[in-house]
Structure 1
């Protein structure tokens, strides 16, 4: 290799060439890039070289153009980034929702076979129109190769260095489980907690001991869960129904929902009893772990002891009962009644098909009177506590789309499915807990990658849909597109105007069973500040604009909705701290960003510790950091 003229003789194997590249990388030299007049012994070698370069840089590539010479053999090829091209479709409106990656990217190389039989790079364009992410290159289809025999160990370097996805290894068996169990469950648990604390000081655990120093209750949360709570701790489900282990200790979960609509763990524990005292201890431990920040809303099962503890520890938190747990009790509670099927249908209509308090109460009282159910204690208690579970009365609060504890997300109903069962020992569980969290972190990592790497085409020419296309993650944009498609079944008509307030009636055709019926929703639009209020309260409940508001937007010729309707919670372009936090359960999983984040944190800690000794130094440090923060956007562009 002659670095002076960028000539490379690749007459040897590609592996030899890559060894040269790795040597330069190890020596601290920038990653090898294509250059003008580099030569290769064959077209395949050139393609392999560009493919390796693309994987190192973090982008996909394709063969864009090829030409044949007079002998009929290919002698000219253009290799380009897959985002080369345009998203403009010949059809102005489409219902296609498959993601696309095209983004007018100019990056490419042009290679040509000369008379000497070697292939030369004739043109190289290194710049991309999008961000390239080397740490996510393992997710590219070309790099997702799986061997027949897979061994997961520390040498693998974590998910970043493994070229297959979680679903590829879901059935592997962890060989360390038996060894861990030999030490004894209690000892294994304490060893596990101490080890996690050593790996990351933000790992939190708490033990509740009885008078004989036996463990009664346990709570813990890893550093990633604590960091994720900052973004996704507004609404939490607390589930005690998952399983009870062989020690008769209930495994309990605090679970939130992330920006992709996926479940994310925010802490868990083992309880020896489901009494008020145990729940109070657990909730206080969790609140201390989360620095005293209580959730806005919490979803639980119907449990008086749990309710008492929540009212005491989280007095400002809105507490609701799991709707699914209530509705699945209908057969058991009402199956003995005459006309059971009609009663069930009438109750479900009152629960699911009402949007105002008046409508709920009228329909409920109507079926109670019609079927003479005044003496049914279960229905009476439900009605008295309707503010805790009825969707009609809870839609005005934000629940991130959750109404049940066991959420069904793409077929994954429970957080630890496939990892633990009632016969799992405590020591086995601790190891499987790590595996489950690694897989969940990987799912979020993949969803982040797909949302940034691809684009879902708009299904209409609406500038509002285009607005959300650039902001929301794929899963949330798809939810919005459902509302855009359903807008076709809506007709908005102006009813009355009072000052700056315009009240619309939106007629919607809905299909219930085999029948079509009409629903009318009232939408109030403030022409001054562009506030919307719809009876269906979809935005308040899920953070997604409803079809009724979108119909009014079309009627008012609104080009873009205010920023307050584009929730930061669902955005894909946000750098969230928990994605940089070093996972206590897998140190080897670090990517370059995580490593830098962890190193900076340690540095900041030492500086803060020293500066805190002096008020003057502390003030100076604050001023320096403020000045640096102001210049940070400019530094990021350099």
Structure 2
């Protein structure tokens, strides 16, 4: 159609009544002017994005809900554009400023939320630490032993994620605060540890497990001088191939060293065995082994088993927590997105603990024997810890009392444990000391001191002494299901998203509609009645008029100047060069490899 203007009138000059393409009503939905996202779709995309659901999966769910692509008024690109716009709007002031705004909002919702941001001279974020109220409360009960590790990349700035991880009463990992660091040197770790110490009321942990990082060691000695520090045993033993592969008899060296580390019962046994090991394989000049022996009290089990470590000898807790976060964050995550997804992960972790609490209180694991001691632990311990006790009861069948020595008041038992996967010469002999007057018991394996669980050797002696109930000192409140934990009463996270009033009203109405629809769908007559009522309401002009009035009021309010005090502009951090786990190299194509060779 062509129109021309003559003086004050428009006149149609030509009309072509034939289409220049095939008429297809089913394709009209793809025309840009016909594509749109209604409020339900936008709300679904927003919620899924907050929950960490990828956009392609969110779009697929909308397709299934609509009954096919042909019933949608938009395409996947429209959904991606919408989410991208929302994310850009969230961080339009910069990633650093968005992070500060988020933390400030969290503190407004709960004054016990703690955070600190370290800035460089250019006003860029260097380091970040935060802990929510639940983590701070959990530290009061489970902060005696923590694992700390920084070998995880989580954001587009390559800032290492540094979580403080403890063990709760179910044996599950629990977050006790975390940080994002710009470097892995002593000064950075000192800053982080001091922040964590202030956050936890200046109460230091009794023990901390890390890797062999010298910077961490220096910072721990400075900030936590009274804290026991042990190295991750797994990190040390996995270096055997790297450090010893050059020796001709490498396999024998590796086997002997593992046997020496894991089988030594006392420090004297280890030291004498180590000297023989070094001399036998001519390893006097190996600097790595020399350093390990100098620091043997930090990693060899026989030096550490006399102290309580909640069963932790490696940083596996931290690495397991890192793997848990893999479902929520990735290497392209911005700082503000990271802390939001951190909340989602924390909420999920809290829900698992809540389910375990419910299961331990409302269900019962049957005893495997008629022992009164087993029933005692059944009533007190959570399911996970009672399972560990039951394992010791089962293994008790492999133990036999070989000799008994009476030493005045106390009795010393020599208990032999048969190991079915080894020959008889490898069977272990344990010394168990029992005091008949106090019912106190002590085993040379030190399992109770290390893990807080009575060992099979002690249970064997208690049965021999006809003890029907152990002292309360052997039932740790740390593993009890009878104690009400304060941190479980605190919400794991807070939704700080500033929803617009119309979105909040929309959510409220949807919930009301869901309840009504659930009642009406029971019969066809009820469904028809509800549809008629809704159609009648949708045609009612009073609803539209009320909506227009509300919209006008919102516009008036939005025009009101913002009198809130604004923070100084905080810049995003720079990309970090780090010495931790190397980033994976991208696989090169054949063309790239050939081009690289030509350039060389």
- SS across alignment from 2:306: coil
- SS across alignment from 1:496: strand
CA distance in 1, matches of 2:407, 2:266: 22
Partner of 2:128: 218
CA distance in 1, matches of 2:412, 2:432: 6
CA distance in 2, matches of 1:180, 1:511: 61
Q: Is 2:459 aligned against 1:550?
A: yes
CA distance in 2, matches of 1:285, 1:470: 39
Partner of 2:218: 308
CA contact 2:146–2:209 (8 Å) conserved in 1:
yes
CA contact 1:406–1:414 (8 Å) conserved in 2:
no
Partner of 1:205: 115
Question: What TM-score results when the alignment is normalised by the length of structure 1?
Answer: 0.63
Partner of 1:373: 283
Q: Among 162, 170, 190, which residue is 2:100 paired with? A: 190
- SS across alignment from 1:273: coil
CA contact 1:473–1:571 (8 Å) conserved in 2:
yes
Instruction: Describe how 1:601-620 pairs up with structure 2 within 5 A.
Output: none
- C-alpha displacement at 1:178, in angstroms? 6.2
CA distance in 2, matches of 1:344, 1:444: 40
- SS across alignment from 1:352: helix
Q: Is 2:249 aligned against 1:331?
A: no
- C-alpha displacement at 1:271, in angstroms? 1.1
Partner of 1:352: 262
CA distance in 1, matches of 2:422, 2:401: 25
Q: Is 2:475 aligned against 1:569?
A: no
Q: Is 2:363 aligned against 1:454?
A: yes
Aligned length: 423
Listed as ranges, the gaps of 5+ residues in structure 1 are: 1-149, 159-172, 589-638
CA distance in 1, matches of 2:436, 2:391: 26
Instruction: Describe how 1:272-311 pairs up with structure 2 within 5 A.
Output: 272-311=182-221
CA distance in 2, matches of 1:423, 1:321: 31
CA distance in 2, matches of 1:368, 1:278: 37
CA contact 1:181–1:428 (8 Å) conserved in 2:
no
- C-alpha displacement at 1:358, in angstroms? 1.6
Partner of 1:463: 372
CA contact 1:217–1:270 (8 Å) conserved in 2:
yes
CA distance in 2, matches of 1:414, 1:403: 19
- SS across alignment from 2:365: coil
- C-alpha displacement at 1:405, in angstroms? 1.1
Please tell me the root mean square deviation across aligned C-alpha atoms, in Å. 2.5
CA contact 2:158–2:331 (8 Å) conserved in 1:
no
Question: What TM-score results when the alignment is normalised by the length of structure 2?
Answer: 0.67
1:32-69 CA-partner distances (Å, limit 9, x unpaired)? xxxxxxxxxxxxxxxxxxxxxxxxxxxxxxxxxxxxxx
CA distance in 2, matches of 1:538, 1:346: 24
Which stretch shows the higher mean deviation, 378-387 or 182-191? Answer: 182-191
CA contact 1:473–1:570 (8 Å) conserved in 2:
yes
CA distance in 1, matches of 2:45, 2:486: 27
Q: Among 372, 397, 413, which residue is 2:307 paired with? A: 397
CA distance in 2, matches of 1:319, 1:152: 46
Q: Among 406, 414, 417, which residue is 1:497 paired with? A: 406
The structure with the larger Rg is 2
CA distance in 1, matches of 2:282, 2:172: 43
Partner of 1:180: 90
CA distance in 2, matches of 1:476, 1:246: 40
Q: Among 393, 396, 416, which residue is 1:507 paired with? A: 416
Q: Is 2:348 aligned against 1:439?
A: yes
CA distance in 1, matches of 2:394, 2:322: 27
Which has more strand, going by share of residues? 1
CA contact 1:507–1:521 (8 Å) conserved in 2:
yes
- SS across alignment from 2:484: coil
**Structure-2 change in CA distance of 1:467 and 1:333 (3 Å):** same
**Structure-2 change in CA distance of 1:365 and 1:469 (3 Å):** same
- SS across alignment from 1:208: strand
Q: Among 211, 228, 232, which residue is 1:322 paired with? A: 232
- SS across alignment from 1:373: coil
CA distance in 2, matches of 1:272, 1:426: 13
Q: Among 322, 336, 357, which residue is 1:427 paired with? A: 336
CA contact 1:298–1:318 (8 Å) conserved in 2:
yes
Q: Among 442, 450, 454, which residue is 1:533 paired with? A: 442
- SS across alignment from 2:438: coil
CA distance in 2, matches of 1:516, 1:498: 28
1:174-212 CA-partner distances (Å, limit 9, x unpaired)? 967665355531122111101110111100001111222
CA distance in 2, matches of 1:244, 1:466: 45
CA distance in 1, matches of 2:438, 2:418: 30
**Structure-2 change in CA distance of 1:204 and 1:412 (3 Å):** closer
- C-alpha displacement at 1:349, in angstroms? 0.7
- SS across alignment from 2:178: strand
Which stretch shows the higher mean deviation, 571-580 or 240-249? Answer: 240-249
CA distance in 2, matches of 1:378, 1:219: 34
CA contact 2:113–2:132 (8 Å) conserved in 1:
yes
- C-alpha displacement at 1:238, in angstroms? 0.9
- SS across alignment from 1:541: helix
- SS across alignment from 1:524: strand
- SS across alignment from 2:404: strand
Q: Among 235, 238, 257, which residue is 2:145 paired with? A: 235
Which stretch shows the higher mean deviation, 442-451 or 493-502? Answer: 493-502
Listed as ranges, the gaps of 5+ residues in structure 2 are: 1-42, 52-79, 498-600
Partner of 2:323: 414
- C-alpha displacement at 1:558, in angstroms? 0.4
- SS across alignment from 1:455: coil
**Structure-2 change in CA distance of 1:397 and 1:177 (3 Å):** farther
CA contact 1:406–1:413 (8 Å) conserved in 2:
no
Q: Is 2:295 aligned against 1:385?
A: yes
- C-alpha displacement at 1:287, in angstroms? 0.3
Partner of 2:540: none
Instruction: Describe how 1:246-265 pairs up with structure 2 within 5 A.
Output: 246-265=156-175
- SS across alignment from 1:316: coil
